[in-house]
Chains A and B, each alone.
Chain A
């Protein structure tokens, strides 16, 4: 995005904020986010600096998740209900959406290497419980009747569409289907609730980011994703996102009422490995088939074997 393009947004921002004058002092790309692109806009609103973030589609589509307008609507809802998210400011059709810029770091490597952070994990658990108390918006439609079956069917369809046989994934999906736990009432899930997708400032949670995969889900789905080994960034012993023992995350979550069944959580960790396998291959195809020349996307495809290893490992425990 060029400075001129950003400046053209100023009148729209002024209208959204009810401001007399908005100037864009500068614009620059922000790192992070493998699905969407982000820029920081140094806006000055009626003489007061107010940095914003523009979030836009990626150069090539992943083919998963919410559209930007849906994500913006959801952000407004969860912000209204008190979730720690960047303040939504404006949706701009064809361009993206604007939120407040929140100071903090989402760098998982830095966070994990400075750990453990049990209080942060506890806070994240409490935040997740809060999100699950929010009724999903109408545009998400009705929840799937059987969430596990829906997730497995979706994974199968996406893997089939790639035209590659993955016997290990098939093996794991048979086991997942056979050992699906008793369903719980569906809840609003963040869908990508993990280390790397939240901002931390002074060791505290500043904001939850990247809501494009939000939707109806199982109450243990986000917990399983958070705890899965692929999101521990090498700190495998700290099962809660590489930042703390699992107990810390669950302490914060369970303080809100629901006690987590460990076996159920392990099941959703295995489901997380399947989900990451599918996403890793979709990301790879943005490089291989859609022509987006991104080293990050190419390398993500190489994670598929590790996902299948995790799937075999975790689904084997079902028989233990």
Chain B
């Protein structure tokens, strides 16, 4: 479930989340592809290990796109584990861009 203080935004995001679920857009593969593009990394290998290493050495501090990716990655895992988990999407940074990207891509 998705909760948000703005009912219209919540409804819109719920619809996107549903579409995302049906079309498999927000898969780990899609998120990995996005991160590969964001960080301009060569494809393949353990992307998450490289991302973790970059974060640890401070190369990505305050990078809003990376933070947004982390939120969506964690939320994806949460939705897998707990379909009923209340995700407050208003917390996810860069949501407007995310909606735009999702609408464009799906």
Q: Are A302 and B70 in contact (CB under 8 A)?
A: no
Chain A residue at minimal CB-CB distance from B56? A170
Q: With contacts A302-B81, A305-B81, A313-B91 known, is A168 near B58, CB below 8 A?
A: no
- Check if A80 is an interface residue, CB within 8 A of chain B: no
**How far is it, in angstroms, between the C-alpha of A74 and the C-alpha of B46 when the chains are bound?**
45
**How far is it, in angstroms, between the C-alpha of A312 and the C-alpha of B92 when the chains are bound?**
9
Chain B residue numbers with a CB within 8 Å of A302 are 81-82
Q: How far is the CB of B8 from chain A (nearest CB, A)?
A: 23
Which of A165, A171, A302, A308 has its CB near the most chain B CB atoms (within 10 A)?
A: A171
Chain B residue numbers with a CB within 8 Å of A166 are 48, 52
Q: Which B residues between 18 and 75 are near A, CB-CB below 8 angstroms?
A: 46, 48-53, 55-56, 58, 60-61, 66-67, 70-71, 73-75
Q: Are A167 and B85 in contact (CB under 8 A)?
A: no
Chain B residue numbers with a CB within 8 Å of A305 are 74, 77-78, 80-82
Chain A residue numbers with a CB within 8 Å of B73 are 167-168
Chain B residue numbers with a CB within 8 Å of A178 are 61
Size of the B side of the interface (Cβ < 8 Å), in residues, is 29
Size of the A side of the interface (Cβ < 8 Å), in residues, is 17
Interface of chain B, main secondary structure: helix
Q: Which A residues between 241 and 271 are near B, CB-CB below 8 angstroms?
A: none
Chain A residue at minimal CB-CB distance from B50? A165
Q: Are A308 and B56 in contact (CB under 8 A)?
A: no
Chain A residue numbers with a CB within 8 Å of B55 are 167, 170-171, 174
Chain B residue at minimal CB-CB distance from A315? B67
Q: Are B52 and A170 in contact (CB under 8 A)?
A: yes
Q: Are B74 and A312 in contact (CB under 8 A)?
A: yes
**How far is it, in angstroms, between the C-alpha of A313 and the C-alpha of B75 when the chains are bound?**
12
Q: How far is the CB of A307 from chain B (nearest CB, A)?
A: 9
Q: Which A residues between 44 and 64 are near B, CB-CB below 8 angstroms?
A: none
Q: How far is the CB of B15 from chain A (nearest CB, A)?
A: 22
Q: How far is the CB of B81 from chain A (nearest CB, A)?
A: 5
Q: Are B82 and A309 in contact (CB under 8 A)?
A: no
**How far is it, in angstroms, between the C-alpha of A48 and the C-alpha of B60 when the chains are bound?**
67
Q: Are A306 and B85 in contact (CB under 8 A)?
A: yes
Q: Are B52 and A167 in contact (CB under 8 A)?
A: yes
Not counting A165-B50, A171-B67, A305-B81, a sample of 10 additional A-B residue pairs whose C-beta atoms are within 8 angstroms of each other reads A165-B48, A167-B51, A173-B56, A305-B74, A305-B77, A306-B85, A308-B74, A309-B87, A312-B91, A313-B88
Using a CB–CB cutoff of 8 Å, the interface residues on chain B facing chain A are 46, 48-53, 55-56, 58, 60-61, 66-67, 70-71, 73-75, 77-78, 80-82, 85, 87-88, 91, 93
Contacts A/B (CB < 8 Å), 6 sampled: A165-B46, A167-B70, A168-B70, A170-B55, A308-B77, A309-B87
Shortest Cβ-Cβ A-B pairs, 5 listed: A165-B49, A305-B77, A165-B52, A170-B55, A165-B48
